[in-house]
């Protein structure tokens, strides 16, 4: 719960997606750790976006002087961008004709300061942000890797409902209407999930989650958040809302949620059919 006088600073840093890991590791994570106490940061989060150019959104909730924070962030970010310029992509004919993207290697701020959203427990966007830093700090960030993380988080969310595989698939089929999606021929290109064996590995990581395992500590934190925020009177609404938190934060829309549900359903169905 945040104090009444706290405000949120929102910055958008336009940077080539293939180099987002550099921006996260060498600037964003470092900046937060260095300035958290000095600028009275109460919370923070990072999100991915492709809107008007590839960029990362940084949100900082502070009870300190937001104007000084904004000035300091701008100065330090400009220095970073000058010394670590990412490659600017050539625009497609469609982009040149209809869209004007923000310049690559630039930082922009929302004009209006906003009050922070209140949560009854932890801020889910902060949990996902820590997961992003942990997962992508050493790897090139591309669509396949982001979708793999979505699979992990989506299965972790399902795990919080304490369902067995048979119950899990019935839950997805009944509530998400997987068969209807199949009729509509919704397809998804999942370069990261190339085989059922890889999916089985993800499934094992999630459903046999060991909270003591350091590499999967981030997953356990998300699992516990979901456990604390399930609405037992409406499971499907809880499931959907929890999933949309990280799906939107990772730069996707509800459409990917429908597609990943369908993929989860059919792969688990095949696993069950083999038994």
Domain boundary, last residue among 88, 122, 156: 122
235 with 170, same domain: the answer is: yes
pLDDT at 247: 95
Domain count, the chain: 2
Residue 221 lies in a domain: yes
Residue 98 lies in a domain: yes
Residue 131 lies in a domain: no
Indicate the angle between helix axes 217-229 and 235-249, nearest 10 degrees.
140
117 with 146, same domain: the answer is: no
Query: Does an H or E element contain 147, and which?
Result: helix 143-159
User: Which domain covers residue 57, as residue numbers?
Assistant: 7-122
Residue 269 lies in a domain: yes
94 with 187, same domain: the answer is: no
Comparing CA positions, the residue from 200, 166, 188, 164 lying closest to residue 253 is: 188
| pTM for the full predicted model | 0.83
Comparing CA positions, the residue from 111, 118, 145, 114 lying closest to residue 131 is: 145
Give residue-wise pLDDT tens across range 56-82: 999 998 888 889 999 999 999 999 999
pLDDT at 91: 63
- How is residue 241 written in tokens? 């809302």
Q: What is the pLDDT along the chain (275 residues), one digit of tens a residue?
A: 444 577 889 999 999 999 999 999 999 999 999 998 888 888 899 999 998 899 999 999 888 888 999 999 999 999 999 999 999 877 654 555 556 788 999 999 986 655 555 555 578 999 999 999 988 888 889 988 898 899 889 888 988 887 666 666 666 666 555 445 444 433 443 444 445 566 677 777 777 777 777 777 888 889 899 988 887 777 778 888 899 999 999 999 888 887 887 777 777 776 666 65
pLDDT at 23: 96
234 with 191, same domain: the answer is: yes
174 with 270, same domain: the answer is: yes
177 with 255, same domain: the answer is: yes
Distance CA 194, CA 108 (A): 38
CATH, residue 45: 3.30.70
Residue 2 lies in a domain: no
178 with 233, same domain: the answer is: yes
187 with 68, same domain: the answer is: no
Give residue-wise pLDDT tens across range 214-259: 777 888 889 899 988 887 777 778 888 899 999 999 999 888 887 8
- How is residue 272 written in tokens? 């069950």
148 with 86, same domain: the answer is: no
Q: Which residue has the tokens 């000095």?
A: 38
């Amino acid at each position: 719960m945040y104090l009444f006088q706290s405000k949120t600073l929102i910055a958008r840093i336009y940077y080539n997606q293939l180099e987002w890991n550099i921006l996260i590791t060498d600037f964003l994570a470092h900046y937060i750790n260095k300035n958290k106490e000095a600028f009275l940061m109460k919370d923070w989060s990072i999100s991915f976006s492709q809107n008007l150019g590839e960029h990362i959104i940084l949100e900082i909730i502070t009870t300190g002087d937001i104007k000084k924070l904004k000035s300091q962030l701008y100065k330090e970010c400009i220095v970073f961008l000058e010394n670590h310029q990412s490659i600017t992509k050539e625009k497609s004919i469609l982009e040149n004709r209809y869209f004007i993207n923000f310049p690559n290697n630039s930082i922009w701020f929302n004009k209006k300061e906003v009050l922070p959203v209140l949560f009854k427990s932890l801020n889910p966007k902060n949990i996902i942000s820590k997961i992003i830093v942990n997962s992508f700090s050493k790897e090139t960030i591309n669509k396949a890797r982001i979708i793999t993380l979505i699979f992990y988080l989506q299965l972790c969310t399902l795990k919080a409902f304490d369902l067995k595989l048979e119950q899990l698939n019935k839950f997805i089929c009944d509530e998400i209407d997987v068969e209807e999606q199949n009729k509509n021929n919704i397809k998804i290109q999942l370069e990261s999930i190339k085989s059922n064996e890889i999916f089985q590995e993800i499934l094992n990581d999630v459903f046999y989650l060991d909270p003591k395992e350091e590499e999967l500590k981030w997953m356990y934190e998300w699992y516990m958040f979901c456990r604390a925020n399930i609405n037992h009177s409406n499971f499907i609404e809880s499931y959907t809302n929890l999933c949309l938190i990280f799906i939107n934060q990772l730069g996707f829309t509800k459409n990917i949620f429908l597609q990943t549900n369908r993929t989860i359903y059919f792969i688990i169905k095949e696993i069950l059919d083999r038994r």
